[in-house]
DNA sequence: GCTCCACGGTCTATAAAGTGGACCGTGGAA
DNA sequence: TTCCACGGTCCACTTTATAGACCGTGGAGC
């Protein structure tokens, strides 16, 4: 498969469409957090740590829209809202794991590249 | 490998560090564009289409810093600057292809999820 | 000689997006 | 009676991105 297909800003490239959603600050982290277990909003908030309520809220809504995440509201007081991965969301974890694996193994090389860059400058 | 490791906002998680660089608006697109061939700045600009000069410039500088991309300046007039993938950059394309492949095959499901969401709302 | 263009950027005003914190209603615990 | 947790939303403020002007150089055209 040709990676270049991911381009073409004009005309609604489907791949680009999906990558735009994925390539934001928080989506990957949220998906990662939901991998092992269903979580409630505030738990997710604390688990990730440095995401604001607003951004977490937006990210979750978009992930829900796109069918990665399921939102379940329990009519209780105080309210309880649980987020979990759908099958689609779980299937996305497969390539995502590959990406994280790459990041993990190549992180020293990235670090080295940065050091080399700083040394040149 | 455990995806949850990608979390922990505090304390400089290496995976998160790499994902933050990748998970921006343009990095993936630039890497995709450079996959088949070395390109000059303005060609890249036109190829991607909706990136601003400033963002392309920043994105390239960061990719260079992190060792994904190599920048070659030719002392000519008008100036010629070429960008190409390093081995590290090329190795990153492997998991990236998996991601794009996923996006490609599952795009109909994402579209369906969006339609279902709109219908519910 | 004089004008104009391409190139790879940077700089600047303006617009868009993100942040932290106040705020909301509810019911149960203290 | 007071207070808190929960899942958000709303607002003022800060950060980030955008579009477009601008820069120097040298060669082409006149």
CB-nearest partner of B33 from A4, A35, A36: A4
Is the pLDDT at B20 greater than 50? The verdict is yes
CB-nearest partner of A67 from B99, B103, B109: B109
Residues of B in contact with A121 (CB under 8 A): none
Q: Do A26 and A56 form a contact (C-beta atoms < 8 A)?
A: yes
CATH code of the domain covering residue A66: 1.10.10.10
**pLDDT tens string B63-109:** 999 999 999 999 998 999 999 999 999 999 999 999 889 988 999 99
Phi first, then psi: what are they for A7, rounded to 5°? -85, -135
**pLDDT tens string A32-83:** 999 999 999 999 999 998 899 999 999 999 999 999 999 999 999 899 999 9
Residue A63: predicted pLDDT: 96
Q: Do A6 and B28 form a contact (C-beta atoms < 8 A)?
A: yes
Counting the structural domains of chain B, the total is 1
**Domain region containing A24:** 3-120
Taking CA atoms, B13 is separated from A49, A78, B18, B62, B112, in Å, by: 13, 34, 9, 19, 35
Computed over every residue of chain B, the mean pLDDT equals: 87
Mutate to test the interface with A, among B98, B101, B112 (most CBs of A within 10 A): B98
Minimal Cα–Cα distance from B63 to chain A, Å? Answer: 10
**pLDDT tens string A79-120:** 999 999 999 999 999 999 998 899 889 999 999 999 999 998
Which residues, listed in sequence order, are joined to residue B60 by a DSSP beta bridge?
A: none
Residue closest to A103 by CA, chosen among B69, B55, B56, B3:
B3
Cβ of B46 near strand C (under 7 Å)? The reply is no
Residues of B in contact with A28 (CB under 8 A): 6, 19, 23
**Region B35-51: what's the mean pLDDT?**
94
**Region B33-53: what's the mean pLDDT?**
94
Query: pLDDT class for A1, splitting at 50, 70, 90?
Result: very low
A window 24-53: Cβ near strand D (< 7 A): 40-43, 53
Is the pLDDT at B27 greater than 50? The verdict is yes
**pLDDT tens string A4-38:** 545 554 455 766 777 777 778 899 999 999 999 99
Residue A120: predicted pLDDT: 84
Q: Do A1 and B100 touch (CB under 8 A)?
A: yes
Quickly count: other Cβ atoms within 10 Å of residue A54's Cβ. 8
């Amino acid at each position: 498969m040709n990676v270049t297909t991911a381009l073409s800003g004009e005309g609604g490239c489907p791949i680009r469409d999906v990558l735009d959603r994925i390539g934001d600050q928080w989506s990957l982290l949220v998906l990662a957090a939901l991998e092992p277990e269903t979580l409630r909003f505030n738990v997710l908030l604390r688990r990730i740590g440095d995401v604001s309520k607003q951004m977490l809220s937006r990210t979750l809504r978009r992930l829900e829209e796109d069918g990665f995440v399921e939102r379940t509201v329990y009519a209780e007081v105080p309210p309880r809202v649980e987020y979990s991965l759908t099958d689609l969301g779980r299937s996305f974890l497969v390539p995502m794991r590959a990406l994280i694996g790459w990041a993990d193994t190549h992180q020293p090389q990235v670090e080295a590249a940065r050091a080399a860059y700083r040394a040149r400058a």
